[in-house]
A and B are shown apart, each in its own frame.
Chain A
């Protein structure tokens, strides 16, 4: 089907999907902690808007609940918690040196191409309006993983982890219009609990190695050599 033949709402869904993907790239390119958290929050906002629009277009009212939950949890609560943590750990002004920033972005772009090829068979079988966004959702997951791989600070890795979760939610939404509500609620609270636990974990880490740099965990030894 030609893109111009889709209705404006369907085009808007795909546009929003592209914006969600774009926020993933913003996160990948952002070396500062606080803007990174903000970019994550924006990804949550756009994800919620996309979900609400899909709910409206495809007439799946239960997706409104998912949208509301996404907005409350991933766009407001978790970013707020992470932000407060960053301020309390006094790392909110830190800049994290990302090695080869342009290479990272290009790797991200090739991940998008890869997920496109992965998604082709699914897209050909599917009849949904949102089927083209499946590749985007896989890309968001992979970009979250790339964020975790390229960063050393624990807090950035947590944001990468959360953004993987965003991608999973997104892929569930565009491929089957949402998981069963029980699963979705469970996952949402898992993520929330994880965010709380990560907070404790950050303080423990700083206590024991005086930094949030995960690489320094390698140097922990029982006995001095």
Chain B
């Protein structure tokens, strides 16, 4: 029982921390670019503002358009429940593995793309087609990176894989480095960050994710934005906890949980800085160069798997 409560608390913490993480990323980015930074709480304020506003719906909007924000948010919260944040071995992690996680993400993507086309504006359809292209290329990369991890830990369960890495101590695995780089590149593409997409602009030539959700307003937009923030955090936590699980709580005592929380917070802060540095030095690339970018990410995760077979199992 207490395990389930803890798992619930962890998921809630996940959802609550996600806007904060985005605020941190924005803040570091502003500092890097010599701009005055908004407060760390600004994403919460934005969400609150959107929740208070009325929803403006197009006349042609079908139930898909109205249901999509709830589906996307619900699915993302389910994903957040699957990823160990401060503690491993929680009951929610045992239910589903990482392949389910990938499938959940593509479910959310499917509905966002449908909703983008539902209203019938040009932008929505354009954004949907672009997003499906990126998704079709990003998913194999994600799965390949995950399989590399699964082959090493001989499980597809994230929680068990984390425990495995934690128990094997410091091992310099070439495959993990490649899989991590591939996962990071695909995370950048999937969460719509620079260089694949730019969440901060509404420029019709370049926008992908923003184009799909252009017609949303009020609480619908708030849910979608919040889901996007949670998704970003899920990817960062995946990178942080699967590849550098040190500090995560293995026993459910208050002390361990506190250490786990501090550890994951520190790792996310660091990863945020890495992400910002990457985004600051990269320019947004043309849409037609995205397949090349993701092709390289695929190569990285493929190399991860190959080096696992060639270097780590032989002899």
Nearest to B295 among chain A residues (CB) is A102
Is the pair A105, B296 in contact by a Cβ cutoff of 8 Å?
Answer: yes
Within 8 Å CB of B296, what residues of A?
29, 105
1/0 per residue, CB under 8 A from B, across A29-60: the answer is 10000000000000000000000000000000
1/0 per residue, CB under 8 A from A, across B140-179: the answer is 0000000000000000000000000000101111110110
* B75 is an interface residue with CB less than 8 A from chain A: no
Is the pair B171, A132 in contact by a Cβ cutoff of 8 Å?
Answer: no
* B221 is an interface residue with CB less than 8 A from chain A: no
Within 8 Å CB of B174, what residues of A?
14-15, 17-19
Report 14 cross-chain contacts, Cβ distance below 8 Å, ordered by A residue.
A8-B172, A11-B173, A12-B172, A14-B172, A18-B303, A21-B303, A102-B298, A105-B295, A106-B299, A116-B310, A120-B314, A123-B315, A132-B310, A135-B310
Is the pair B168, A109 in contact by a Cβ cutoff of 8 Å?
Answer: no
* A200 is an interface residue with CB less than 8 A from chain B: no
Q: How many residues of B contact A (CB 8 A)?
A: 26
Is the pair A18, B307 in contact by a Cβ cutoff of 8 Å?
Answer: yes
- Of the residues A29, A101, A106, A136, contact of B310 by C-beta under 8 Å: A136
Nearest to A25 among chain B residues (CB) is B299
Residues in A lying within 8 Å of B, measured CB to CB: 1, 3-4, 8, 11-12, 14-15, 17-19, 21-22, 25, 29, 101-102, 105-106, 108-109, 112-113, 116, 120, 123-124, 131-133, 135-136
Not counting A15-B177, A113-B306, A132-B314, a sample of 17 additional A-B residue pairs whose C-beta atoms are within 8 angstroms of each other reads: A3-B171, A8-B170, A11-B173, A14-B174, A17-B174, A18-B177, A22-B178, A101-B292, A102-B295, A105-B299, A106-B299, A112-B306, A116-B310, A131-B314, A132-B311, A135-B310, A135-B314
- Across chains A and B, the number of contacting residue pairs, with CB separation under 8 Å, is 79
- Of the residues A3, A101, A120, contact of B295 by C-beta under 8 Å: A101
A contacts with B: majority SS = helix
| Bound-state Cα–Cα, A131 to B296, Å | 28
| Bound-state Cα–Cα, A11 to B175, Å | 11
Is the pair A18, B178 in contact by a Cβ cutoff of 8 Å?
Answer: yes
| Bound-state Cα–Cα, A29 to B289, Å | 13
Is the pair A131, B315 in contact by a Cβ cutoff of 8 Å?
Answer: yes
Within 8 Å CB of A22, what residues of B?
178, 303
Is the pair A112, B314 in contact by a Cβ cutoff of 8 Å?
Answer: no
| Bound-state Cα–Cα, A156 to B311, Å | 29
* B74 is an interface residue with CB less than 8 A from chain A: no
Nearest chain B CB to A13's CB is how many angstroms away? 9
| Bound-state Cα–Cα, A78 to B170, Å | 37
Nearest to A103 among chain B residues (CB) is B295
* B291 is an interface residue with CB less than 8 A from chain A: yes
Is the pair B310, A102 in contact by a Cβ cutoff of 8 Å?
Answer: no
Residues in B lying within 8 Å of A, measured CB to CB: 168, 170-175, 177-178, 291-292, 295-296, 298-299, 302-303, 306-307, 309-315
Given contacts A132-B314, A133-B311, contact A15 B172 (CB under 8 A): yes
Nearest to B296 among chain A residues (CB) is A29
Nearest to B181 among chain A residues (CB) is A22
- Of the residues A3, A19, A105, A133, contact of B173 by C-beta under 8 Å: A3
Within 8 Å CB of A3, what residues of B?
171, 173, 311-313
Nearest chain B CB to A148's CB is how many angstroms away? 19
Given contacts A105-B296, A132-B315, A136-B310, contact A25 B303 (CB under 8 A): yes
Within 8 Å CB of B172, what residues of A?
8, 11-12, 14-15
Within 8 Å CB of B175, what residues of A?
18
Nearest to A101 among chain B residues (CB) is B292
Nearest chain B CB to A174's CB is how many angstroms away? 11
| Bound-state Cα–Cα, A47 to B313, Å | 23
